[in-house]
Amino acid sequence: MTEKRPFDVLNTALNNSVLIRLKGGLEVRGNMISYDIHMNLVLDGAEELQNGEVKRKLGTLLLRGDNIVFISPA
C-alpha cells in the first residue's frame, strides 16, 4: 500500500466506516460520506463510543475538522 498524500486516506475511506478521535477524548464511528479541505467531514450512522462500546447513536454527524485528532479507516 502506498499513499501519496495524507488526504488520499480520506478519499479511500469515502463511503466506508471510520473511527474518529476528537480533542477531549470523544470517539465516534460511522460511515464517512463527505469531507472538505479543512477535514470537516460527515458521518452517516454515527455512534459515540466509550472504551470501544457504543454509548449513543447519533445518526448523521457533521464534524469540524479542527477538533479531530485522528481518523482511522475501520
Task: Give the shortest CB-54-to-its own copies separation in angstroms.
Answer: 15
Task: Give the shortest CB-67-to-its own copies separation in angstroms.
Answer: 5
Residue by residue, DSSP assigns 36-56 as: -TT--EEEEEEEEEETTEEEE
* 68/5 Cα distance (integer angstroms): 18
Would you count residue 6 as binding its own copies (CB under 8 A)? yes
Residue 49's closest CA among 23, 29, 33, 31? 29
Contact 45, 30 (CB under 8 A): yes
Would you count residue 11 as binding its own copies (CB under 8 A)? no
User: Mask 17-56, x = binds its own copies (CB under 8 A)?
Assistant: --x-xxxxxx-x----xxxx--xxxx-x-x----------
Residues near its own copies (CB under 8 A): 1-10, 19, 21-26, 28, 33-36, 39-42, 44, 46, 58-74
